[in-house]
Amino acid sequence: MAKIRFQALAQALNREPVNFDETVKRSELFGQNVFNEQNMRQFLTNEAYLGVVSAIEHGTKIDRKIANQVASSMKQWAISKGVTHYTHWFQPLTGATAEKHDAFFEPIGGGLSIEKFEGSQLTQQEPDASSFPSGGIRNTFEARGYTAWDPTSPAFIYGTTLCIPTIFVAYTGEALDYKTPLLRALHAVDAAATDVCKYFDKNVKKVTSSLGWEQEYFLIDKALASSRPDIMLTGRTLLGHSSAKGQQLDDHYFGSIPTRALNFMRDLETECMLLGIPVKTRHNEVAPNQFELAPIYEEANLAVDHNSLLMDIMGKIASRHGFKVLLHEKPFAGVNGSGKHNNWSLSTDTGVNLLGPGKTPMSNLQFLTFFINTIKAVNENEELLRAVIASASNDHRLGANEAPPAIISIFIGKQLTKVLEELQDVTKGKLSPEEKTDLKLNVVGKIPDVLLDNTDRNRTSPFAFTGNKFEFRAVGSSANCANPMTVLNTIVAKQLKEFKIDVDKLIEKKELKKDEAVFNVLREYIKASKNILFDGNGYSEAWEKEAQKRGLSNNKTTPEALKVRISDKTIALFEEMKVMNKVEVNARYEVDVEEYIMRVQIESRVLGDIAGNHVIPTAVKYQNTLIENVAGLKEIFGNEFEEHAKEQIILIKKISEHIEAIHLKVHKMINARKKANIIDNIEDKAEAYCFKVKPFLEDIRYHCDKLELMIDDEIWPLTKYRELLFIR
Ligand code: ADP
Ligand code: MG
Quote the pLDDT of residue 362: 85
- Which atom of ligand 1 sits closest to the CA of residue 468? 23
Distance CA 263, CA 258 (A): 9
Q: Sketch the domain layout of the chain as residue ranges.
A: 31-177, 187-580, 595-726
Residues with CB under 6 A from ligand 1: 210-212, 214, 294-297, 343-345, 353, 466, 468-469
Phi, psi of 643, deg, nearest 5: -60, -40
Ligand 2 geometric centre to CA of 210 (Å): 15
- Which atom of ligand 1 sits closest to the CA of residue 356? 23
- Which atom of ligand 1 sits closest to the CA of residue 457? 4
Ligand 2 geometric centre to CA of 312 (Å): 22
Give the residue from 227, 219, 236, 225 showing the smallest Cα distance to 6. Answer: 227
Q: Which ligand is nearest to the CA of 470?
A: 1
Which amino acid residue places its CA nearest to atom 14 of ligand 1?
212
Give the residue from 204, 534, 461, 499 showing the smallest Cα distance to 374. Answer: 499
- The fold for domain 187-580 equals Creatine Kinase; Chain A, domain 2 (3.30.590)
CB 326 within 8 A of CB 725: no
- Which atom of ligand 1 sits closest to the CA of residue 344? 25
Ligand 2 geometric centre to CA of 375 (Å): 19
**CATH number at 595-726:** 1.20.120.1560
CB 276 within 8 A of CB 126: no
- Which atom of ligand 1 sits closest to the CA of residue 214? 14
Quote the pLDDT of residue 516: 93
Which amino acid residue places its CA nearest to atom 4 of ligand 1?
466
Quote the pLDDT of residue 510: 82
Question: Which portions of the chain are predicted below pLDDT 50?
Answer: none
Beta strand 161-170 with 85-89: parallel, antiparallel or unpaired? parallel
pLDDT tens, residue by residue, 304-344: 999 999 999 999 999 999 999 999 999 999 999 999 999 99
Ligand 1: residue of 343, 346, 374 to mutate (most ligand atoms within 8 A of CB) is 343
Ligand 1: residue of 454, 469, 475, 488 to mutate (most ligand atoms within 8 A of CB) is 469
- The fold for domain 31-177 equals Ubiquitin-like (UB roll) (3.10.20)
Q: Which ligand is nearest to the CA of 467?
A: 1
CB 539 within 8 A of CB 554: no
Q: DSSP secondary-structure letter at 177?
A: B
pLDDT tens, residue by residue, 399-457: 676 667 899 999 999 889 999 999 999 988 888 999 988 888 888 888 888 877 666 67
**E strands, 184-230, in order:** 207-221
Quote the pLDDT of residue 456: 60
- Looking at residue 214, its amino acid is E
Beta strand 410-411 with 463-465: parallel, antiparallel or unpaired? parallel
Angle between helices 514-529 and 361-380 (to 10 degrees): 30
Ligand 1 geometric centre to CA of 297 (Å): 7
Ligand 2 geometric centre to CA of 245 (Å): 26
Quote the pLDDT of residue 143: 57
Distance CA 339, CA 218 (A): 11
- Which atom of ligand 1 sits closest to the CA of residue 294? 14
Model ipTM? 0.95
Ligand 2 geometric centre to CA of 93 (Å): 27
Strand partners, 105: 115
SS3 324: strand
